[in-house]
Amino acid sequence: MATNSAAIVVGRLLEIRAAAGYRSAAEVDELFDAIDREIAKLPASTQIVTAADWRQCPIMNTEASDRVLQRIVALNPRTERSSAIASLRSPTAVLQFMRLIREARLSDRKMFFDAEEQIEFLGEGLTSAGRARLRVFLSYYRPHLPLLA
């Protein structure tokens, strides 16, 4: 069964996997509360580099999407660079993700469809150990049933 997760495994690289998606604001809060707990482990002056994997995340309802935007914006002050990888198998979800990134208003937050491009973008802000961990994180992608919408 697909799940959502957030972890800092190496350095300041925040790994977010949204494989289960979000059906409610409560589900969004559950993941973002986990994100807050991970960030709290770092010194307050440390900026994070976020890698989000949205390749399995289906389209969200309006309530969940609005809450994701609110919670992403709240992370802007702690974020140096952020990116998400998405799948072109769900063009409607991609449009939704693009809107979230645009409306979050952080110039160093981008969306990719290619893991190597995401690694290049985020790697500028990571140590060699962080880049190696990012590669491992992004290599775990096992498409399941085709996405709809």
pLDDT score recorded for residue 142 = 58
For 20-65, the pLDDT digits (tens) are: 999 999 999 999 999 999 999 999 999 999 999 999 988 999 999 9
What is the spatial distance between Cα 91 and Cα 28, in angstroms, rounded to a whole number?
21
**How high does pLDDT run on average in the chain?**
92
User: In this structure, how many other beta carbons lie within 10 angstroms of the beta carbon of residue 32?
Assistant: 21
pLDDT score recorded for residue 144 = 54
Sign of the Cα torsion 41, 5, 79, 9 reads positive
Q: What is the pTM of this model?
A: 0.91
| Residue 147 near residue 93 (C-beta atoms within 8 A) | yes
